[in-house]
Amino acid sequence: MALRTPDERMRAGVEARRHVPPDLHAGWTAAPDRPDPIGLLESQATTRIPELVPVRYGRMLVSPFTFFRGAALPMAADLAATPTTGVEVQLGGDAHLSNFGLFASPERNLLFDMNDFDETLPGPWEWDLKRLAASLVVAARDRGFDKHDARHAARAAAGSYRTRMAEYAGMRAIDVYYSRVDVSGIATYVDKRARPYLEETVREAAHHDTVHELPKLTELVDGRRRIIDVPPTIYHPTWADADVPTDALAAYRLTLQEDRRVLFDRYELVDIAVKVVGVGSVGLAALAVLFGGGHPDDPLLLQVKEAEASVLERFLGPSEYTNHGERVVAGQRRLQAASDVLLGWSQGRLGRHIYIRQLQDQKGSAVIAAMSHDDLETWGELCGWALARGHARSGDPAAIAGYLGDDEEVDEALGAFAEAYADQTDRDHAAFAAAVRSGRLPAETGV
């Protein structure tokens, strides 16, 4: 069967827009039978490390934005009740603004891209874009920005996605694959008012690696380096918690490219500690694993994270991968311009599915508390750009571009959705806080 031409694929997107007009994406009204978001969060707790569940809830309690970060499942349930275009991509699955940032490519160039793929799964492209747009409005409110600035940030992100997708639709497939959002390209794009914030993020990312983190995370004990305990977020586990014995690491090694196995073989295991990270993933097994290369100045820190079924699978069907660590790795490789050279997966002795990558590799993340409204808008535009690149690489950019068109109708609709869903997030956070006060949910604050 002959491949469809770009014009044919774009016409398919135009036809999808006729069946699902952009105004169907605008606004949000909870259905009477909407699943209880608190109940959905409680259902996730049943498979998590019990003593870390209160830490997760405590982090979600801080603000509507931290609640939003941890509420990927309730939002997935809500998105499943909305009209969809029928055009699928590899979804990041949790594309809020804090899950984008800077990291180093294998060539040691700084790139801007998605950096969290725990929920990745094939699905409708607009789900990622709606979660991104809503996160910008929730974050803007968290910073005290006015209604105009909040909605404008969401529209700008959608507009960035639309214009970049049109560019990718006109490119050769292999050129889309090779495309990157690199720091040099960003510097010429960013508005001068937002440039100081981005330049500071770049400076911090350039020094955020294993050698820089080593004095913070480790100490010498009897001549051997050891990870420092800072309970309850960093502590040495029982082996039941660690679940990464030698056989799991050996299986992980086989998921690496051959040349990277040679690199991995030059290190030996030194220490393992639980290291709680993020908001939504708190309670899943997450470990910092220290390796030594035979010299004090040659450490390697890997992060081991447990992977459960994506929250999207309840609504989009099961993953094609039997190991959810492999699902995460495959999704990351499809979406990211350049993935960690030591990214791989395995299975622990207790049956946990895990994926493994470097703990720090020149990463720079969004620091929302330091953002002006110009910074937030620019960060959102960069997120929209990176999201479009990932979707174009994993899906059909011509079909998506055909749906989006060359006007701002989709941008306006997603801005309206983001504002309405931020209202829903405020209500859900208030209900969450009430559940903590009543004792229904245990929350450990200040962690």
pLDDT, one tens digit per residue, over 55-73 is 999 999 999 999 999 999 9
Residue 246 pLDDT level (bands cut at 50, 70, 90)? confident
Share of the chain above pLDDT 90, in %: 71
Q: What is the pLDDT of residue 302?
A: 94
Q: How confident is the model over 152-208, as pLDDT tens digits?
A: 999 999 999 999 999 999 999 999 999 998 877 777 777 666 677 767 777 666 666
Number of CB atoms found within 10 A of residue 33's CB:
6
Share of the chain above pLDDT 70, in %: 94
Q: Coil, strand or helix: which one is 102?
A: strand
Q: What is the pLDDT of residue 108?
A: 76
- Tokens representing residue 125 in the block: 């492209």
Give residue for tokens 């639980």: 274
Q: What angle do CA 48, 342, 308 make, to 5 degrees?
A: 20
Q: How confident is the model over 76-109, as pLDDT tens digits?
A: 999 999 999 999 999 999 999 999 988 877 777 7
Residue 151 pLDDT level (bands cut at 50, 70, 90)? very high
Q: Average model confidence (pLDDT) for the chain?
A: 91
Q: How confident is the model over 284-337, as pLDDT tens digits?
A: 989 999 998 877 778 899 999 999 999 999 999 999 999 999 999 999 999 999
Spatial separation of the C-alpha atoms in residues 186 and 136, rounded to whole Å: 20
Q: In the predicted model, is pLDDT for residue 271 greater than 60?
A: yes
Q: Which residue from 66, 200, 144 is spatially nearest to 373, judged by alpha carbons?
A: 144
Residue 122 pLDDT level (bands cut at 50, 70, 90)? very high
